[in-house]
C-alpha cells in the first residue's frame, strides 16, 4: 500500500537543474571542453565533485589538475549556482507540483527529499515548501552518490517505510537507476529513451497525476 513519496529536487520540484547544467557548461568551456547534450544531461543528479570529475573525463583532462584546483573550480561553479538560487521564488515551482503535493497531503502520504544537492534546504526555503516534507536526506552523510541506491534507501528510512510502500520521482538517469536499485517504484520525468528504466514516465511535471500514478503503482505491486 502506498504510504509515501520521495522526491529528487533539481529538475523535479523546480527547474534549478538548468542552472546546474548551465554553470557546468560554462566551466567546461572555460577549461576548453565542449560537452555534447547527452554528456551534459548525464550530470543530472551527480554530486558536485563527481560532476566535475566526469566533465574532466569527457575532456580527457582527468589528471590535469590538483585537488586544490578542482576545489576552486567546484567552488566557482557553486557560486554561480547559488547566485541563481538567490533569485528563486515560489513561482519557480514546476507546473503540477503544487497540486501533487496537496493531493499527497490530503491522502496523508509522508514525503521526503532525496537530493544530492547541499543547496537543497536553501532552495526549498526559497520555494517556501520546506515544511511540506517529513524528511530531507543530508547528502553530507552519504558514502556513495546516485546511481547508488543509498540516498533513496535513506529517504525511505527517514519516513519509516518499506520499499514497496513508496513512489520516488526523478529527472536523472542516474537517479532512476538509484531508485530501481533501492527496489522502489520509479516515476521518471523527461525523455523516454534516457529514463527507460523508470516504471512510469511523463515528459514533464505538468503531466503528473497522483491518481494515475497510484493506479500504475498498485498494478506493479500486485
Ligand atoms: C543535484 C543536481 C546535480 C548537482 C548535485 C549537487 O543532484 O541534480 O546537478 O550537481 O545536486 O548539488 P550541489 O548544490 O551540492 O552542488
Ligand atoms: Mg534532478
Query: What distance in Å separates the CA atoms of residue 191 and residue 114, rounded to the nearest whole number?
Result: 21
12 alpha carbon, closest ligand: 2
Does 221 have pLDDT greater than 90? no
Q: Are 215 and 188 in contact (CB under 8 A)?
A: no
pLDDT per residue as tens digits for the range 109-120: 999 999 999 999
Residue-averaged pLDDT of the chain = 97
Once rounded to an integer, what is the mean pLDDT over residues 216-220?
Answer: 96
- Summary count for the chain: helices (H), strands (E): 9, 6
Q: Is 101 annotated as a binding residue?
A: no
| Residues acting as catalytic residues | 8, 10
Q: Is 45 annotated as a binding residue?
A: yes
Q: Are 79 and 71 in contact (CB under 8 A)?
A: no
- Residues with a CB atom less than 6 Å from ligand 1: 10, 17, 20, 43-48, 51, 78, 115-119
Cα of 144 from ligand 1 centre, angstroms: 14
Q: Is 112 annotated as a binding residue?
A: no
Once rounded to an integer, what is the mean pLDDT over residues 43-65?
Answer: 95
Give the pLDDT confidence score for residue 222 in this predicted structure: 84
Percentage of the chain surpassing pLDDT 90? Answer: 99
Contacts of 45 (CB under 8 A, 6+ apart): 8, 10, 116, 145, 146, 170, 171, 172, 173, 174, 175, 178
Q: List beta partners, residue 169.
A: 7, 187
Measuring from atom 7 of ligand 1, which residue has the nearest CA?
45
pLDDT per residue as tens digits for the range 81-116: 999 999 999 999 999 999 999 999 999 999 999 999
Amino acid at each position: 500500500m502506498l504510504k509515501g513519496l520521495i522526491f529528487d529536487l533539481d529538475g523535479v520540484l523546480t527547474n534549478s537543474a538548468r542552472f546546474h547544467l548551465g554553470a557546468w557548461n560554462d566551466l567546461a568551456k572555460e577549461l576548453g571542453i565542449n560537452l555534447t547534450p547527452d554528456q551534459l544531461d548525464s550530470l543530472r543528479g551527480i554530486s558536485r565533485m563527481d560532476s566535475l570529475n566526469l566533465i574532466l573525463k569527457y575532456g580527457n583532462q582527468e589528471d590535469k589538475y590538483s585537488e586544490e584546483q578542482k576545489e576552486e573550480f567546484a567552488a566557482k561553479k557553486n557560486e554561480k549556482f547559488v547566485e541563481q538560487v538567490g533569485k528563486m521564488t515560489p513561482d519557480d515551482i514546476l507546473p503540477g507540483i503544487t497540486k501533487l503535493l496537496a493531493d499527497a497531503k490530503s491522502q496523508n502520504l509522508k514525503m521526503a527529499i532525496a537530493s544530492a544537492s547541499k543547496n537543497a534546504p536553501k532552495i526549498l526555503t526559497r520555494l517556501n515548501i520546506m515544511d511540506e516534507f517529513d524528511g530531507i536526506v543530508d547528502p553530507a552523510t552519504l558514502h556513495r552518490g546516485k546511481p547508488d541506491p543509498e540516498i533513496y534507501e535513506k529517504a525511505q528510512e527517514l519516513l519509516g517505510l518499506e520499499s514497496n510502500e513508496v513512489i520516488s520521482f526523478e529527472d536523472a538517469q542516474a537517479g532512476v537507476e538509484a531508485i530501481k536499485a533501492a527496489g522502489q517504484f520509479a516515476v521518471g520525468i523527461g525523455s523516454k529513451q534516457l529514463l527507460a528504466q523508470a516504471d512510469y514516465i511523463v515528459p514533464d511535471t505538468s503531466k503528473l497525476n497522483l491518481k494515475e500514478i497510484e493506479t500504475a503503482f498498485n498494478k506493479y505491486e500486485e
